[in-house]
Amino acid sequence: MRSRFILSVLYCIIVTIAASGTENTDPAYTAAADETIKLPQYRNIYVEFMGPSNMAGISYDSRLKPGSKWGYRIGLGYAYGTSIGILDAEEHVHMAGIPIEFNGIFGKKKSKFEAGFGVNLGMYHHSWYKYNIIMSNGGIYLSKDNEKQIENRFYHYCYFNIGYRYQRPSGFQFRIGISPMFSFTRYDGVISMPLLCCPYLSFGYTLK
């Protein structure tokens, strides 16, 4: 009888402790839990023009955790250019890169200041035809080569983002600013620049 009584008392104590652990009715605890749940994480998908996207690109941007100022961005950018020079004809350049960035957003309202640092890694495709100078019958003529010249290289450059961000918990998102860019590789890399400042503009959507 005594052992059954002791077991019954222990069972009641265990059930009471378990119930108190799962159902905390303290107002401060409930308010803190609700506040944690409501903190936004700002998961964004946006289209960006210029800046780290080269000419145009799409990126995914998110905070590291709900309520955090700090986050990251990864995307895919593309650029294309063409020109016709005096000694180079039909020159075409294609660049496809992946911007990877660590950033922070600051401000309690929808209008925020953003700053970030990242690197763009990609491939560079350059094709062109050359002109040959031909002297004949006292005149000078330009003749275009039939063989296309092609150059493919890996490129990389580092960049900063400094700008304005319109950020809501969900729905429309907007960014505008400037990206200082630089490369440590001056000769072996395709991008050879001590410092270049490029504006950026983006429109996107914040997921719930």
Q: Which CATH number does the domain housing residue 171 bear?
A: 2.40.160.20
pLDDT computed for residue 106 by the predictor: 96
Considering the domain boundaries, does residue 8 fall inside one? no
pLDDT computed for residue 2 by the predictor: 46
Considering the domain boundaries, does residue 12 fall inside one? no
Considering the domain boundaries, does residue 148 fall inside one? yes
Q: What backbone phi and psi angles, to 5 degrees, belong to 4?
A: -65, -40
Considering the domain boundaries, does residue 28 fall inside one? no
Q: What is the mean pLDDT of each run of 10 residues along the chain (208 residues)?
A: 48 46 44 60 96 95 94 96 67 91 94 96 84 69 71 90 95 96 61 76 95
Closest to 48 measured CA to CA, from 200, 207, 205, 206: 200
Cα 147 from Cα 131, distance rounded (Å):
11
Domain that holds residue 74: 39-207
Q: How many domains does the chain have?
A: 1
Cα 8 from Cα 101, distance rounded (Å):
60
Q: 97: burial class by Cβ within 10 Å (0-12, 13-18, 19+)?
A: buried
Max Cα distance, the chain (Å): 127
pLDDT computed for residue 26 by the predictor: 45
| Count of Cβ atoms closer than 10 Å to residue 133 Cβ | 9
pLDDT computed for residue 194 by the predictor: 66
Considering the domain boundaries, does residue 16 fall inside one? no
Q: Sign (positive/negative) of CA torsion 195, 98, 171, 37? A: negative
Considering the domain boundaries, does residue 190 fall inside one? yes
pTM over 0.75: no
Q: 191: burial class by Cβ within 10 Å (0-12, 13-18, 19+)?
A: buried
pLDDT computed for residue 89 by the predictor: 65
